[in-house]
Chain A
Amino acid sequence: MPKKIFILAEHKKGALKKATQELLGVAQGQNVSALLIGSEAQPAANELVKKGVQQVFWVKDRAFDSYHPEAYATVLADLVQKEKPELLLGTASSLGKDLIPKVAARLDIPIVTDCTEFKISPELKIRRPFFSGKVLADVVFEPAPLVCITVRPNSLAAGEVSSTAGSITELTPSFDFGASPVQFVNRTQASTDRPDLTEASIIVSGGRSLKSKENFKFLFDLADVIGAAVGASRAAVDEGLASHDMQVGQTGKTVNPNLYMAFGISGAIQHLAGMRTSKVIVAINKDAAAPIFQKANYGLVGDLFVMAPLITQEFKKLLHKA
């Protein structure tokens, strides 16, 4: 019998996020409803419906466009209580990591976050990293009527629930934003058009041997040719060569791309922990004995200042951008 599943769907400027499509894929054949918030989200709502989500609850009110923990939690918790799903599903994104736990606490239900392997049928199978992926745990819930799960982006194949289209229900929740002790002030502009590290399918990453902030240009140039995000090791961040939001590792971001290219990164345990689930790892380092080579699929001993521009050129040729 299909399970009743409720998905917290996400969009970016109206486009359904790939991470949400990954949740649809894992929920194939199940009875799925979803919540989508945002005045621009109509295209994403249409896509959810087309991909077999039976009921899409869409909050169109502009007042809800910016994330407000209390307002969003009220909408989601009310829906979950009304819809009574067996499973509340979200992405381990900025939104999912904030909203799903808040709702889980409000309803006092079990939660497992940031799963990297996940199956719903024939029975729940959940695997998630601990210690930033130094070990992986198979998690089994004690029996409960409702559980929450968030999934790491790029862990599952994108897909659809079914070919039977559902329908959109517009919601008009009331929330007194003015009376809330939390006021959204504004949001800074993204400093870059490059994808976010946690969502990127390709990452180009640099270590301390880049020597200066300016030298990261070698990596940015390469990244822009192949549509990659740019990351950095803790050593590079601590020495001011790269900003905090670029740090990959146990005290930075845990990433999960298809391709991770490490330039001049030696491979400290805490860095490896943050990128080891990458599908393909390339290590480029002057030091043939660097530990990163033990974890890489492809290794190349060489000077990164020579290699990065050459590799950029080769990709340009391949992608006909030269």
Chain B
Amino acid sequence: MSDMDRRKFLKIAGLGALLGISSWSMFEVVTKQHLEAFVEKYKTPPNAMHAKRWAIVIDLKKLDEKIMNDCIEACNRIHNVPQIPNPKEEVKWIWKEDFEHAFPGMEHQYMPEEIKEMPVLVLCNHCDSPACVRVCPTKATFKRKDGIVMMDMHRCIGCRFCMAACPFGARSFNWRDPRPFIKEENKEYPTRMRGVVEKCTLCCERLEVGLPPACVEVSNGAIMYGDLADPNSEIRKLLATRYSIRRKAELGTNPCVYYLL
């Protein structure tokens, strides 16, 4: 120890403290893990709806202004979606877009103007191979086993990588506190805070208690939902009998919102 000097001492002391603290916390983590007996503590609600691959089918023939407004209003009301007047910061989960812009590349110059300007409802497509899930660094947006692309608002760090990745522009960010912009709070559902990304969740909290998604409920049959993996489901029968398109299908994300023409 005769060559011990101040520098060496400080280095050893620092390393020792670091190792000591980290081993203590590791000890805590490891021993706490298996202390609780394994008991079935968490269950899905008994009347939950189950599916292997949820999907939405929108019948463009049945859509009209009133139904679209009802759907948007129902979604916004139930989920406390803020109404921000500045388009720069707006938050939208489901909204109207004209055909030309919702399906870019499908129009041509000889198409009738009414079709080009026909409003359609656009929302998150709950893709099968979602780009947003692929890029999220914290798994704050994740794909559930039943196919819904869900948001965990607790974990989102607001990096907005998912917004860059989504080819459909379906995601919104809370650029400021949304609460002043919520018309009427639904006390049974939380709001979001500034700094997190949000989008349509296919009303999974309603599906889990046996209710249909809000937009489906008020759409008077224009929007249908069901299980794509079930060959006997209503939507599978519809998709087998009528011509349907999807938005930007060539990009490989495999969107699961179908539009019947």
Determine if chain A interacts with chain B.
no
Which residues of B does A touch, CB under 8 Å? Answer: none
Which residues of A does B touch, CB under 8 Å? Answer: none
